[in-house]
Amino acid sequence: MLARDLACAALGWAIALAYWVGASRLQRSMLSDEFGADGLPRGLAMLLAAVSTLIALRALWLARRVPPQPAALGPGLRLHAKALGGVAALGCLYLVLAPWAGYLIACGVLIYATALYYGAKPTPMLAAVSIGGAVFFWWMFARLLSVSMPAGFWPQLLG
């Protein structure tokens, strides 16, 4: 838990510093009030840094007070990387594909790839479900709810 708490504190300090620097670079406006556009972000950054410090101090204090426990059996770094990286990669695939190939294809590929990632077998059934799912979502959002979904290259191709 010590490592996680210290990581949490480090994350807090990094975010607080980023916001503090960002706030100090904000332009001044003639319309600005006494508090200013930078007032709240600066205040919050200070608070976040203070809370992060307390989290770190508490972690160090607990580590001295409580005898070291045998490491709990949790997922290893590789599994964490697989979880985070895998879903992020699938999302990025959609982000790249949707504007270029259009919503229908991107959604179908996303369903197919995600199901494979979670252990489905690459069967014709999966392909059919992916196509059916993409058409269903397209019908629901684009047709029924009139949301303009990414069209991709299709309008140019079909004239």
Partner 1 sequence: MSEAAIAWKVLTHSWAIPLAFVGVLWGIIGGALPGISASIAMALLLPFTFAMDPPTAIIMLASVYVGAEYGGSIPAILIRTPGNNSAMATVIDGFEMNRQGRGGEALGISLMSGFIGGLFGLAVLIVATGPLARFALSFTPPAYFALGVLGLSVIAGLSGRSLLKGLFAGLLGFLVATIGTDPVSGISRFTFDSPDLLSGVRPALVMLGLFAVTELMVQVIEPDWLKAEAAGARLKLPGWAMHKRLFRPNAIGAVVGTVEGVTPGAGGTVAALISYNEAKRWSKHPEEFGRGSPEGVAAPECANNVVTGTALVPLLGLGIPASNSSAILLGGLLMHGLTPGPMLFDKNPEVVYGLYGGLLVANLAMLVLGLAILTPSLWLVNRPKPYVLAFVFALVVTGSYAMQQSIFDVGLVLGFGALGYVMRWMGIPQLPMVLGVVLGFMVESNFRRSLVISGGDYAIFLKDPISVTLLVISAAIVIFSVRRELRAPSGGLAI
**Contacts (CB under 8 A) with partner 1, residues 107-146:** 107, 110-112, 114-120, 126, 129-130, 133-134, 137, 140-141, 145-146
Per the CB < 8 A criterion, the answer to whether 63 and 2 are in contact is: yes
Q: Which stretch binds partner 1 (CB under 8 A): 63-71, 72-80, 151-159?
A: 72-80
Q: Rounded to whole angstroms, how far apart are CA atoms 11 and 27? A: 26
Q: With respect to partner 1, which residue has the nearer C-beta, 39 or 153?
A: 39
Q: Smallest distance from the beta carbon of 62 to partner 1, in angstroms?
A: 8
Longest pairwise C-alpha distance within the chain = 73
Q: Smallest distance from the beta carbon of 155 to partner 1, in angstroms?
A: 16
Residues 74-113 that bind partner 1 (CB under 8 A): 75, 79-80, 82-84, 86-88, 90-92, 94-95, 98-99, 103, 107, 110-112
Q: With respect to partner 1, which residue has the nearer C-beta, 68 or 81?
A: 81
Q: Is 148 in the site for partner 1 (CB under 8 A)?
A: yes
Per the CB < 8 A criterion, the answer to whether 100 and 112 are in contact is: no
- Which amino acid is residue 67, in one-letter code? P
Q: Smallest distance from the beta carbon of 157 to partner 1, in angstroms?
A: 20
Q: For residue 94, what are its two tokens?
A: 């959609």
Per the CB < 8 A criterion, the answer to whether 111 and 133 are in contact is: yes
Residue 119, sorted as left (phi over 0), alpha (psi -120 to 50) or beta, turns out to be left
Q: For residue 114, what are its two tokens?
A: 């995600």
Q: Which stretch binds partner 1 (CB under 8 A): 38-46, 64-72, 151-159?
A: 38-46
